[in-house]
Structure 1
């Protein structure tokens, strides 16, 4: 049986195999499966998924209990709803993902690491009244080797989980819940690693500067887009002058700040892409007043998880997924909630944290604020723009079958040759040129000013950065 490499290659035989594996693990190994039907559909809209092809797989099956008795019980009919994740249909994205090992990290998170961390909590938590385990989609099946990759997990939306509107951002209640759960990851991973070295067990999570080196060209292009936009706004000439003067210094300072782990006061397992579209929320309907009450959360998309500074996850969430008004009015309360949660879980696991009081934590948050601003500026341009929906045209298309056409085969071969060369430090200009061409339509969209949501959020970040002095490029 061949493992599918994309949505078009999913077969009846493979789906039946996945369901069989799942039920054998979930219930009893003597259950036999007869798949009666299955359906495949794209799980994302165009432009929503840059690093993968996400597929919604629904299936129905009959479960037969194998028995030595002469009488057999009637089959149990059961429906399934899964999310299947393949490598990107775009060959250049695929090669970049393989080099950065994004796919390996995510599969390992779902298949092993989350389970290890949650088991660590169950074995060591003094007080288990409040469940402090990680909440992620259930792992169903996966394979990753030189020629095959697929990850199958539960479809949380079938269990009433849903995304928040990225154009509106998170309100205080949702932000507090998101912060609480990322603190769980950080505290659990730190505690676990004190007894079992996580990066020794799972070396793919060791800090890899290739992540920041791939992001640096995006930062440079985002700054250049901002400069083009500000040139049309004479009222902001002072910000423009600082960006023009510091366009290279800002990106260099960002990379040094990200890469120099000796400067970080705290290190643990980080999510790396912690923003509103990687959070799923579930609500309960209050019958008395008809209001929906927030009750649960799931954390998804673990491709960029690595051992790094936990404060970066907070910067990423706040600068990409909340409004300036929320940050201005509630930042201290949000950060205190994170710190309290982190310290409480660490104490509960009998691994208290020395030299990390709230003032020290806030000092580290302030020191690394430039990272948050630049990540937010990049993501807002890429995710709130209408032009961004065209960056990855294959996402959301069920017709994409890589490598079949002559053009597709040529691109696949070219990607395998070009990408390993492009990621070398001496050849970064190749990636920079490609990203500049890809993101240039966003600059035009900013200038046109028709996308008020993107323009407003973008300008809010710039004004905040100016107020904090982040645009003044100084030596570190």
Structure 2
């Protein structure tokens, strides 16, 4: 998020419509001030390739004034998020998941209601960035630059400790509780948020999982002590996609709500308070709502636990963290007067562990890609591709000693859980 280089030629293409008139229209609407004018603006690239696989991010400094002579001005710092031109399998995936349309609708219609709910609860923490404007025609969002308020991304190689994880879980529980209430008040509010990262709606991401499994099998085939596991992984070829899809099947008897759908360390903006000998997380804001969907909140926890915790906590601290999350969820649901059945701790634990196969997907497929080195090949096209270049890139991910150490640790655990049966 600290990259301030000028936009590349590909990014300039994505910004060909961006001008003063566009900014004035949206900022006048947000501030409800028709006299507001844009004196000038400067735009720079806002992220690395891995920070946002399917979008273009830019940092925007806007000089605005609300008098005709521009005698009094102030600088507004924003993030511009828009689509990148895509082709082939990536274009199909973007269309199938409607990731841009869904995120625009979230920031336009859902995020303001979430913030209003927080105000009613007298909670003074934000859950999302402010949206200064969204534009469906140009597929763009003008968002608050959270860095200006002291938030930042942390390294994808840094996992959360228990205290940090609990703060994230409190924010996730608040998000889940509020959106459950929004659906209680308006049953149709999330009609366009049907599909998560794993779905029966499309096969667009299947190659990412099937090729990942083949590479894992290639690796474990060279480990004599893993012969039993390798044979089970080979049999998993037949059921991998179905098992993954089952984790996202809606079960009406379970507690369901709007889930973030992609909760990992790079989609969490953190504010730190300095202590004498260490940094302590003070606040967390959720970003990137492209895979937000109506589903079991257990899937958010499975993804977060298996992608973003310190290795020493997986899976040893899962029960402790589930209990903390459940406590927070119940508290906020009761404060918001939730009228439906609230799951007991044991019911929610069962809901979580029923979806353990999604934990396998998160830790053995998603996390290796998330934490890979940022190279020219590190993009969504390569992750979805099956050509030689894409396969070589994916093999390079799994050649990492850290990734292989995780496979050695986790595959036996998942086997004992019966996930490969």
Shared fold (TM-score greater than 0.5)? yes
Structure 1 window deviating more from structure 2 (46-55 vs 358-367): it is 46-55
The CA deviation at 1:118 is 3.0
- Unpaired segments of 5 or more residues in structure 1? 67-71, 396-430
Return the alpha-carbon distance in structure 2 between the equivalents of residues 25 and 443 of structure 1. Answer: 43
Q: Would you say 1:337 and 2:288 are equivalent positions?
A: no
* SS of the residue 2:154 aligns to: coil
CA distance in 1, matches of 2:201, 2:307: 18
C-alpha distance in structure 2 between counterparts of 1:207 and 1:444, whole Å: 29
SS in 2 for 1:201: coil
Question: Following TM superposition, by how much is the alpha carbon of 1:59 offset from its aligned partner in structure 2, in angstroms?
Answer: 2.8
Are 2:241 and 1:251 equivalent residues in the alignment? yes
Displacement of 1:173: 2.1
The answer to whether the aligner puts 1:465 opposite 2:414 as a matched pair is yes
- Does residue 139 of structure 1 match 2:136? no
Q: Specify which of 97, 108, 132 is matched with residue 111 of structure 1.
A: 108
Counterpart in the other structure of 1:364:
351
Residues 94 and 214 from structure 1, CA distance in 2 versus in 1: closer, same or farther, beyond 3 angstroms?
closer
1:139-168 Cα shifts (integer Å, max 9, x gaps): 0111114xx311111111222211121112
In structure 1, what is the Cα distance between the partners aligned to 2:330 and 2:293? 21
**Distance in 1, Cα, partners of 2:291 & 2:235:** 31
Cα distance in 2 for partners of 1:437, 1:177 equals 42
User: Between Structure 1 and Structure 2, whose CA radius of gyration is higher?
Assistant: 1
Give the 3-state SS of the residue equivalent to 2:239 in structure 1. Answer: helix
Aligned to 1:462, the other structure's residue is in SS state helix
**2:48 partner SS:** coil
Summarize the Cα distance change of 1:352–1:243 in structure 2 as closer, same or farther, 3 Å threshold: same
Answering whether residue 193 of structure 2 is matched by residue 205 of structure 1, we say yes
Say whether 1:272 aligns with 2:261: yes
Q: Which residue of 2 aligns with 1:7?
A: 12
In the alignment, what sits opposite 1:96? 93
Deviation at 1:352, TM superposition (A): 5.2
Q: Please state if 1:239 is matched with 2:244.
A: no
The answer to whether the 8 Å contact 1:47/1:390 transfers is no
How far the C-alpha of 1:300 sits from its partner, in A, is 0.5
Q: Which residue of 2 aligns with 1:404?
A: none
Residue aligning to 1:84: 80
Is residue 222–residue 381 contact of structure 1 (8 Å, CA) maintained in 2? no
Q: Residue by residue, what CA displacement relative to the aligned partner does 1:66-99 show, whole Å, maximum 9, x if unpaired?
A: 6xxxxx8x72221222111121233333443133
Q: TM-score, normalised by structure 2?
A: 0.87
Q: What is the CA distance between 1:16 and its match in structure 2?
A: 5.3
| Alpha-carbon displacement from aligned partner over 1:87-119 (angstroms, at most 9, x marks no partner) | 123333344313321111101111110112332
- In structure 1, distance between residues paired with 2:320 and 2:202: 30
Displacement of 1:29 in angstroms is 1.3
Partner residue of 1:301 out of 285, 288, 293? 288
Bigger fraction of residues in helix:
1
Give the superposed CA RMSD: 2.9
Stretches of structure 2 lacking an aligned partner (at least 5 in a row): 1-9
Residue 441 in structure 1 maps to residue 392 in structure 2: yes
Report the TM-score, using the length of structure 1 for normalisation. Answer: 0.78
CA distance in 1, matches of 2:202, 2:359: 13
1:320 paired to 2:307: yes
